[in-house]
Amino acid sequence: MYSNEHQLYLKNKKRNKNIILFFRIFIVLFFLIVWEVLAKTEIINPFLTSSPSKVITTIIDLYKQNNLFKHIWTTFYETIASFSIASIIGLIVASILWSNNTISKILDPYLTVLNSLPKVSLGPLIIIWIGANTNSIIFMTLLITVFTAIINIYSAFINTDKQKIILLKTFGANKIQIFTKLVLRGNTKNLVNTLKINISLSLIGVIMGELLVSKKGLGYLITYGSQVFNLNLVITSIFMLGIMSYLLYFCIDLLEKKLNK
Query: 227-261 pLDDT, tens per residue?
Result: 888 899 999 999 999 899 889 988 888 888 887 76
Domain identity same for 148 and 226: yes
Half-sphere exposure of 197 (CA within 13 A, CB side): 19
> In terms of C-beta density within 10 A (0-12 exposed, 13-18 middle, 19 or more buried), how is residue 134 classed?
buried
Number of independent structural domains in the chain: 2
Per the structure, the complete domain to which residue 23 belongs is given by: 1-44
Domain identity same for 108 and 8: no
pLDDT band at 77 (very low <50, low <70, confident <90, very high): very high
Domain identity same for 58 and 181: yes
Per-residue pLDDT at 1 = 57
Per-residue pLDDT at 125 = 81
CATH number at residue 63: 1.10.3720.10
Domain identity same for 110 and 233: yes
Domain identity same for 128 and 9: no
Domain identity same for 143 and 174: yes
The angle subtended at Cα 144 by Cα 142 and Cα 146, nearest 5°, is: 55
Query: 93-109 pLDDT, tens per residue?
Result: 999 999 888 888 888 88
Domain identity same for 18 and 90: no
Domain identity same for 256 and 160: yes
Per-residue pLDDT at 189 = 86
Domain identity same for 128 and 250: yes
pLDDT band at 2 (very low <50, low <70, confident <90, very high): low
Domain identity same for 114 and 142: yes
Domain identity same for 183 and 83: yes
Domain identity same for 97 and 176: yes
